[in-house]
Amino acid sequence: MELDSKNLCDKNGRLNFHEGMFFQDPIINSNLSKRNLLRRKKWNYWTINNDKYFFTIALANFDYSGLIFAYLIDLDNNKIIEKNFLVPFGKGICLKSHVDDDIVYEGKNLNIKIINSSDKTKIELFINNFCENNCLMGYFNIYNKDVESLNIVVPWSKKKYTYACKQSALKCEGALSIGNDYIKFEKGESYGSQDFGRGVWKRNIKWNWITCSTTIMDKKHLGINLGAHWTDGSGITENGIILDGKAYQIEEDVEFKYDNDDFMKPWTIKSQSNDINLVFVPIRIRESNMNFGIIKSHFNQLFGKLRGSIKINGLVINIDEALSLCEEHIAKW
């Protein structure tokens, strides 16, 4: 289905919208202006999971720097394998303006192709020396035909703003090979999700975020996306669910409560009305701290099980031991 596209900003780099906006389809053309050079933030963050593994491949371009990273979380063996590539000035990381635009990156030690068609996204990747001198090879088909998404325009001001598209609970199949190890992601047992972001960000930012793709008891496909802090004061939240391909906005704020001295203790995620009432129990943590003077980042990302309930439009959705990703990120960028 062809959708009318809406430009995010005008030719001078000022936001085209007067208030926070929500859409169920990715109709935004993120035409970020060069007038905002060095303040622009772009990323495509893909996660594939089944009940044993999380795999992520992400590309980001911040004008002054680029970052490509991949990691594999083996929950049964409590193991993380990770590879990061810092790319000066984001050279070669061409992240275009629309969710459906293709991405091709070819480097000395890695090749990534993310190709979109009418019914699926195909990911192919090669990373040299991913683990113990073994290369990583992978492919995935992620099926997104007739599946809605959570799309928001966040207006901090006319000069500071962002667009985000959250896709989750997408049916997926594929495989990874690392040396002699082969990991199969079976269709019907695996999900794909994407966090797509394009914007002109504030200098200091904090967010909490949880994303989950799971199957609930009546065999429906459920995607959960909840966040806090970063949209404060904008009149919009990123909160919502995708249930059997239909996206539902949650306008209410949520609060993440957790122990800053021990991120591995259970987290609670609740709304004031208690329509969102969740507990996240971490299994594994991934930490990252960067300090380059003018650029600082403190990042704690956890993988674990989610339980509780979400009430939306009179429907109560019960979640039981659903594999999820939850994080805290504090940055000066």
Residue 3 pLDDT class (50, 70, 90 cuts)? low
CB atoms within 10 A of CB 64: 15
Give the Cα separation of 223 and 233 in Å (integer).
26
Listed range (38-47, 183-192, 294-303) with the worst mean pLDDT = 294-303
Is the pLDDT confidence value at 42 over 90?
A: yes
Q: Which two tokens stand for residue 123?
A: 């990911």
Q: Is residue 230 part of a domain?
A: yes
**Does residue 80 sit within a domain?**
yes
**How does residue 2 score in pLDDT terms, banded at 50, 70 and 90?**
very low
Enclosing domain of residue 77? 6-332
pLDDT for the residue numbered 181: 93
Q: What's the CA gap between 236 and 277, in Å, rounded?
A: 20
- pTM for this entry: 0.95
- pLDDT attached to residue 291: 77
Decide if pLDDT at 26 tops 90: yes
Q: What is the pLDDT of residues 254-274, one digit of tens each?
A: 999 999 999 999 999 999 999
User: What residue has token string 């063996």?
Assistant: 77
Confidence of residue 62 (pLDDT cuts 50, 70, 90): very high
* Greatest pairwise CA separation for the chain in angstroms: 54
Instruction: Give the chain's domain count.
Output: 1
Q: Does residue 275 belong to any structural domain of this protein?
A: yes
| Domain assignment of residue 60, yes or no | yes
> pLDDT band at residue 296, thresholds of 50, 70 and 90?
confident
- Mean pLDDT, residues 286-300: 82
Inside any domain, residue 172: yes
Q: Could you tell me if residue 173 is inside a domain?
A: yes
In a domain, 48, yes or no: yes
Segment 93-121, tens digit of pLDDT: 999 999 999 999 999 899 999 999 999 99
Question: In this structure, what is the dihedral angle of CA atoms 104, 107, 111, 114, given to the nearest 10 degrees?
Answer: -20
Burial class (CB in 10 A: 0-12, 13-18, 19+), 291: exposed
Q: What is the pLDDT of residue 1?
A: 39
Instruction: Note the pLDDT tens digit of each residue in 311-326.
Output: 999 999 999 999 999 9
Could you tell me what percent of the chain has a pLDDT over 70? Answer: 98
Neighbouring C-beta atoms of residue 144, cutoff 10 Å: 22
Q: Are the CB atoms for 58 and 46 separated by under 8 Å?
A: yes
Q: Is the pLDDT of residue 198 over 70?
A: yes
55 close to 176: Cβ distance less than 8 angstroms: yes
Does residue 1 sit within a domain?
no
How big is the chain, counted in residues? 333
